[in-house]
Amino acid sequence: VADQALHSNPPVEEEVSVDGKVFKIKSSSKNKGPYDFSQPNILQELSGDHSGAIWTMKFSPCGKLLATGGQDSILRIWVIKSTYDYFEDFRQKYGEVRLSPAVSHDSLSLASSFDTSAASRDPLKELNKQDDDDETNAPFKRKPFCVYKGHTADLLDLSWSKNYFILSSSMDKTVRLWHISRRECLCTFQHIDFVTAIVFHPKDDRYFLSGSLDGKLRLWNIPDKKVTLWNELSGTSNLITTANFCFNGRLAVVGTYDGKCIFYTTEQLKYYTMVNVRSSRGKNSRGRKITGIESMPGEEKILITSNDSRIRLYNLRDLTLTCKYKGCTNNSSQIRSSFSPTGKYVVCGSEDHFLYVWKTNHEFLKFTSARRDRNDYWEAIKGQLNSCQSSVLVSVFILHISTVKSVCSFYTSLQLSQCAH
């Protein structure tokens, strides 16, 4: 596998060798370094399970489980090797319990009634027990910890609760609820159109938010299995393409096909304010599809990805544009950017086959005449999987593993990249 690292245009190539692999590194006159990702190395590749594109992947809040889904309509859960025994014991304990979304203060819980028919053995258990492969530095077990079937079309979004429940949304117009201790779907929430966005409430995961192409934003009560609140977008283009909570769940925000971010109060799901995500002039002055919204760790800011190949950081206090990140190519895909766990970096996939990384607040900007609300001091890593040139559709930083900096998914595989300083 040939990999390349790229730093800002125009490129000047040089080759470096890491663990016997040759990497091409490029940098421009604008970005002279030092580079944080100048020595990339493939740490692990998880392949052969997913068929087709991987559209979405999310880490559990604890950072030990990774959920992936996409074109093959199957949800897979991957587990960190060092925590496999813990989660296997967890699964065995609750595998003998009939699970249902029960009310417990401000959280979903496991119903405690015994169900002997549910204690069947997981067919993946024995395979994973023997999974002591030669990849000594590989963080994940080679085979998925859970495989969930039930959706009949592409998976579009995923969301974890703190108690290891997981929601999956699909082009089959449903949202399904799962738990890692069980093999079957716990509940199905029917919609009218494709469900493009789902997210558990960050403070009370008895509730979740869903956004759909029918233009409706819905707040669901899981124990009651019904919609508690809803609102409908107005206008000629009311397609919801992404959604999230911000301000610790006090506000809900949706992104639309025509480049708007609309905020609602969570308590009543009433309109609060709106931001037009677009440039003031030029080819990007017309709003383009919003593909991702993420809150910045420890800050009252949100990161918005859109189909004008721009990523924008907004201050939630006054909705001013704090910074615009340039470099990646995202003209038509549902690519979304994300933060590293501490918020130090922004990472994003790209249609040009690269994985892009920016420092959220680049120190160079303090000492130059360059605008501080613009950041094109990026680094990027390119991978070729089985000679298949594919867009990097999803990219996230691994949580709580100091030796691993990032995870990126390509067309049919997950590839883990270690980037040394």
What domains appear along the chain, each with residue ranges and CATH number?
Answer: 48-365 (2.130.10.10)
Q: In sequence order, what are the residues at sequence separation of 6 or more whose Cβ sits closer than 8 angstroms to the Cβ of residue 8?
A: 27, 28, 30, 31, 327, 376, 377, 378
- The answer to whether residue 385 scores a pLDDT higher than 90 is no
Q: Which of 252-256, 274-278, 327-331, 408-412 has the lowest mean pLDDT?
A: 408-412
- Point out the least confidently predicted range of 102-111, 362-371, 386-395, 407-416: 407-416
**What's the pLDDT score for residue 2?**
34
The better pLDDT of the pair 281, 331 is held by 331
pLDDT of residue 30: 60
pLDDT digits (tens, 9 = 90+) for 335-377: 999 999 999 999 998 898 888 889 998 665 555 555 678 888 8
Lowest mean pLDDT among 197-201, 312-316, 320-324, 384-388: 384-388
Cβ count within 10 A of residue 320: 11
Summarised one tens digit per residue, pLDDT across range 112-145 is 433 333 334 455 555 555 555 556 778 999 999 9
Q: What is the pLDDT of residue 14?
A: 53
Residue 6 predicted with pLDDT over 60 = no
Judged against a pLDDT cut of 50, whether residue 241 lies above it is answered with yes
- pTM (two decimals): 0.84
Asked if residue 33 has pLDDT above 90, the reply is: no
The pLDDT assigned to 194 comes to: 98
Residue 93: band (very low, low, confident or very high) from pLDDT cuts 50, 70, 90? confident
Of residues 11 and 334, more confidence is placed in 334
The whole-number pLDDT of residue 331 equals 94
Rounded-to-integer distance, Cα 398 and Cα 367, Å? 31
Give the separation between CA 357 and CA 346, rounded to whole angstroms: 6
The pLDDT value given to residue 188: 98
The predicted pLDDT at position 107 comes to 66
pLDDT of residue 408: 42
Does pLDDT of 28 surpass 50?
no
- What is the predicted pLDDT for the residue at 109? 67
Joined tokens for residue 32: 């002279």
Provide the pLDDT confidence category of residue 232 given band limits of 50, 70 and 90: very high
pLDDT for the residue 27: 47
Reply yes or no on whether the pLDDT at 319 is more than 70.
yes
- pLDDT higher at 369 or 27: 369
The answer on pLDDT for 304 being more than 70 is yes
pLDDT computed for residue 21 by the predictor? 59
157-203: per-residue pLDDT in tens?
Answer: 999 999 999 999 999 999 999 999 998 999 999 999 999 999 999 99
CA separation, residue 411 to residues 159, 227, 324, 353, 387 (Å): 21, 35, 27, 10, 12
Please check the confidence at residue 210 and state whether its pLDDT lies above 80.
yes
The candidate with the shortest Cα–Cα distance to 163, out of 220, 106, 213, is 106
Q: Which residue has the higher pLDDT, 238 or 312?
A: 312
